[in-house]
Amino acid sequence: MSATTATTAIDARILAEEATFMARNRRSNELYEQALAVMPGGVTSSWSSTRPFPVWISHGAGSHVWDVDGNEYVDTHAGYGVNVVGHANPAVVDAVQRRVTMGTHFAQPTEDSIVVAQELAHRFGLPLWRFNNSGTESTMDAIHLMRAITGRDLIIKVEGSYHGHHDLVNVSLWRSLGDLGPVDDPSREAGPGIPQAFADLVRIVPFNDLAAVERVFADHPGRIAGMIIEPMMMNAGIIPPHAGYLAGLRDLVHRHGALLTFDEVKTGLVVAWGGATELFGVSPDIICLAKALGGGVPCGAIGGTAEVMSAISDGRYDQVGTFNGNPLTMAAARAVLTEVLTPDTYAAAEALGRQLFDGCTAALSAHGIQSYGIVHGFKGSVVVHDKPATNYREFLEIDTAISHLNYLIQHNNGVFIAPWAKSESWTLSVAHTSADCERLVANTEQLADVLSRRGDEVSALFEVGGVT
């Protein structure tokens, strides 16, 4: 690779697109500057922070959103995978409107919660369910349960995998290649603000590596409570499991007297009617849900086997929360499950996703650009790289500059994708159309044209080997 400056072809195009971005988002910039005085980083969540500044949204309808400058976008961001039902879905709106006039909070169960639990049990094959308010709470409850059931302390998690921001899983997150440590002894440094004592209770393994999990059990006999894993690794594009990996993992974990949790916060209700659990035909001991379940209303849930959930029933573990099963949330979730995300919607979404995937890969290939990707249900991705990533370290080798440039080109031409587009993938909804997909494909053709002319230049603005 040649030495570079910030005037390489790709960097020049990034700077030009950022200038266009700033010119068409002046009101967003004004609000951002106001927010900096009263909100750290000028945003409500650090996930919203991006270069050159965050976009402020006015409203959404169906598959489209509008920002405060009046720009309209096809939305494939979907609030980080939440809005599979589309924006302002009539069934969800009607359910919440009916419920809100009857009272918004009681800290007591409402009838809708029974229906939601029944539907989840039917879809995911686990008999008993409890509710909370986010994916972070769901994974926290799951880890607590694994420890309560087994009486053990150590947890296994996958390198680079995100399971929320609580202390129990804030280890091996968002690091550069140089910070990960040896492959056979990954770094277990705690995240910022997290005592190292918590990280010392976690063991890290690569995704798609059964032998590594076996070594952890061998090194810590009788001490592993369980393993938490995304059955498809998200926040790293989309990395699917190797054939037999999940079934082998379940058998391995159980052979050592431990439990297996699937974090389906991003995959559940999205990649298939019964999530990745249905898609891959492997049932864990615990399933964590959130995001799409509430149709845009904050919501989380955990499902488990009778053995696991007995710890809640008999009082060994108090699964609590003031807003658990909130009436508005349960009304929205019931509408999502019974009226919107019906079985036939998944085949239709996958067909649309296939159109999007085929169009994007064809546009890149026509310009000699290698790519890979995947489509399942409402979820999909196309990644510019010469070979598919099978774990987090391989994902970090993907060019971050290309991902940022794609975000800018898509945004400036009417498609809203996640700002952290290297790690995020697209999410469609029941409202998306073929024309929506064509717009994203057309923008990808622009990206392909830029990339075809960059030669061996390497970005000086973004370093390969990091997440940003």
Alpha carbon distance, N-terminus to C-terminus of the chain: 20
**Residue 296 covered by a domain:** yes
Task: In whole angstroms, give the CA distance from residue 112 to residue 443.
Answer: 43
pLDDT of residue 8: 80
Helix (H) or strand (E) holding 371: strand 371-376
Q: Are residues 336 and 348 in the same domain?
A: no
**Residue 404 covered by a domain:** yes
Domain total of the chain: 2
Q: Are residues 245 and 391 in the same domain?
A: no
CA angle 391, 396, 400 (to 5 degrees): 140
**Residue 460 covered by a domain:** no
Q: Which of 340, 369, 387 is the last residue of a domain?
A: 340
Q: Are residues 35 and 95 in the same domain?
A: no
Q: Which of 340, 368, 394 is the last residue of a domain?
A: 340
Cα distances (Å, whole numbers) of residue 352 to 270, 348, 425:
14, 6, 15
**Residue 3 covered by a domain:** no
pLDDT of residue 468: 58
Q: Are residues 114 and 237 in the same domain?
A: yes
Q: Are residues 94 and 36 in the same domain?
A: no
pLDDT of residue 39: 95
Token representation of residue 432 = 């998306």
**Residue 136 covered by a domain:** yes
pLDDT of residue 315: 94
Q: Are residues 122 and 200 in the same domain?
A: yes
pLDDT of residue 3: 41
Task: In whole angstroms, give the CA distance from residue 71 to residue 73.
Answer: 7
**Residue 286 covered by a domain:** yes
Q: Which of 278, 309, 340 is the last residue of a domain?
A: 340
Q: Are residues 214 and 257 in the same domain?
A: yes
Report the catalytic residues: 162, 263, 291
Q: Are residues 166 and 315 in the same domain?
A: yes
**Residue 4 covered by a domain:** no
pLDDT of residue 1: 36
Q: Are residues 63 and 103 in the same domain?
A: no
**Residue 464 covered by a domain:** no
CATH number at residue 371: 3.90.1150.10
CATH number at residue 249: 3.40.640.10
Q: Which residues contact 386 (CB under 8 A, 6 or more apart)?
A: 370
pLDDT of residue 170: 85
Q: Are residues 64 and 109 in the same domain?
A: no
Range of the domain at 440: 9-75+343-452
Q: Are residues 294 and 412 in the same domain?
A: no
Average pLDDT of adjacent 10-residue blocks, the chain of 468 residues: 57 94 97 96 89 96 98 96 97 98 96 98 98 97 97 96 89 80 85 88 96 97 98 92 98 98 97 98 98 97 97 95 97 98 96 97 96 96 93 91 94 93 86 98 96 83 71
Task: Say how many CA atoms lie within 13 Å of 85 toward its Cβ.
Answer: 25
Q: Are residues 411 and 275 in the same domain?
A: no
